[in-house]
Amino acid sequence: MDTTPDSTPVTGILRTTWVRDELAHVLEHAGTDEPSGTWTGLACPDHGLSVGSDVCVATLLAMSAGRAVADLIWEAPAYIADEHARAFDAAMEAFQQGRSAAAERHWQDLQAIWSHAWATNYAVLGLIQQAGITEFAEVKPQRWVVASFEHHCGSHGVQLPHVHNVVVTALTSGSSSEENVRADSAGGSYG
Ligand SMILES: [Zn+2]
């Protein structure tokens, strides 16, 4: 399912890393000081996970147990980061001064900025799955199982608003199910 308008710019920086902390970084923040995750990969529906639905942490842990997991960190481009910082500061200032209507308006601005950031991150993921990553699978184009987590700030090394795209690389599949190229045929239920 491609819900991204063609006009969505493919921008920002994507860094590919391997998860060595058993997802501690994303799980530490998800549902506490940051929102819970969202399933985003093209192969998610193959595993009963609808794209755009909330990530169940237990399901993600069961799927990734004992497998190589990559974290493709998308960092927002400067213009999104600047708008984000402006809206955040304005919201905090209004909140502290007790101007609740103004604070609410700025929070809505912040949400609009984030939905633009999500669309851009999704467009970037689409492009990279199209291109394929050889460390994940030989087949091209690829479809991945991805759980994405937005992080608003950078008290943990990344200074810009960013999205962690957690890819269970063993579940990478080819573009069409009849090719039967899925690296892992387990499928089924993880819940
Ligand atoms: Zn982070």
Please report whether residue 181 resides in a domain: no
The answer to whether residue 185 scores a pLDDT higher than 50 is no
From ligand 1's centre to the CA of 8, what distance in Å?
A: 23
Rounded to the nearest angstrom, the distance between the alpha carbon of 96 and the centre of ligand 1 is 26
Domains of the chain: total: 1
Q: How many Å apart are CA 10 and CA 4, to the nearest integer? A: 11
Residue 66 lies in a domain: yes
Q: Does residue 65 fall inside a structural domain? A: yes
Query: What tens digit of pLDDT does each residue of 89-102 get?
Result: 999 999 999 999 99
Q: Which two tokens stand for residue 48?
A: 């009963």
What does the pLDDT look like over 42-63, one tens digit per residue? 999 999 999 999 999 999 999 9
Give the pLDDT of residue 29.
85
Alpha carbon of 72 to ligand 1 centroid (Å)? 11
Measure the CA–CA gap between 125 and 153, rounded to whole angstroms: 21
Full-model pTM: 0.85
In a domain, 84, yes or no: no
Q: Decide if 176 is inside a domain.
A: no
The predicted pLDDT at position 156 comes to 59
How many whole angstroms from 47 Cα to the centroid of ligand 1? 26
Condensed to tens digits (0 to 9), the pLDDT of residues 9-26 reads: 889 999 999 999 889 999
CA atoms within 13 A on the CB side of 175: 8
Tell me which H or E stretch contains 89. Answer: helix 78-96
Q: What is the pLDDT of residues 118-135, one digit of tens each?
A: 999 999 999 999 999 999
Domain for residue 123, yes or no? yes
Structural domain span for residue 57: 13-77+116-164
Residue 182 belongs to a domain: no
